[in-house]
Amino acid sequence: MAVDDLLQGLHADRTLSLEEQLRAIERDLARRHFLGVMTTNTLFDQLRKLEMDILKLLPEYPGAPDVHRRDRVPLEQEARRIQQAIDKEQADRWRDEQELHRERRGLVREHREELQRYTRLGAGYE
């Protein structure tokens, strides 16, 4: 009887540990997604403001003298830099989330195997 109690306690501890790890991964996923979205939105806002400034400095019609070129070129370069930052942030977020999903799948598999093992051998745990 003491062995059955010990095995049941070990199963409960292992299951609790796996569930805590899963909750931690879910929190990390949510946090990473939230931070990525906030960063991307901030960058998009900056890009939108720059594009509005760039539009104001464009020649009025095709063939018109480009009198604001000197002022516009640095803004266009900054807009390209921000677009690259957006692309990098989205790629990094995707990579981070994929790694967390991979880790989550492994823990879910372990949890399922633990429950199956408990179910298979559970008759002796009662």
pLDDT category, 122, cuts 50, 70, 90? Answer: low
The 10s digit of each residue's pLDDT in 56-93 is 999 999 999 999 999 999 999 999 999 999 999 999 99
Q: Cα separation of 13 and 19, whole Å?
A: 10
58 close to 72: Cβ distance less than 8 angstroms: yes
Pairwise pLDDT comparison (115 vs 73), residue with the higher score? 73
Overall average pLDDT of the 112-118 stretch: 87
Q: Cα separation of 7 and 21, whole Å?
A: 21
Pairwise pLDDT comparison (125 vs 70), residue with the higher score? 70
The 10s digit of each residue's pLDDT in 8-64 is 888 888 899 999 999 999 999 999 999 999 999 999 999 999 999 999 999 999 999
pLDDT category, 7, cuts 50, 70, 90? Answer: confident
Q: How far is CA 58 from the centre of its chain?
A: 37
Q: Which helix (H) or strand (E) holds 9?
A: helix 2-57
> Is residue 126 pLDDT above 50, yes or no?
no
Cα angle vertex 57, ends 66, 73, to 5°?
Answer: 75
The pLDDT, as a whole number, for residue 115 is: 86
Closest listed residue to residue 50, CA positions, set 70, 69, 78, 88? 78
Q: How far is CA 53 from the centre of its chain?
A: 32
Structure-derived torsion over alpha carbons of residues 39, 43, 45, 51, reported in degrees to the nearest 10? -170
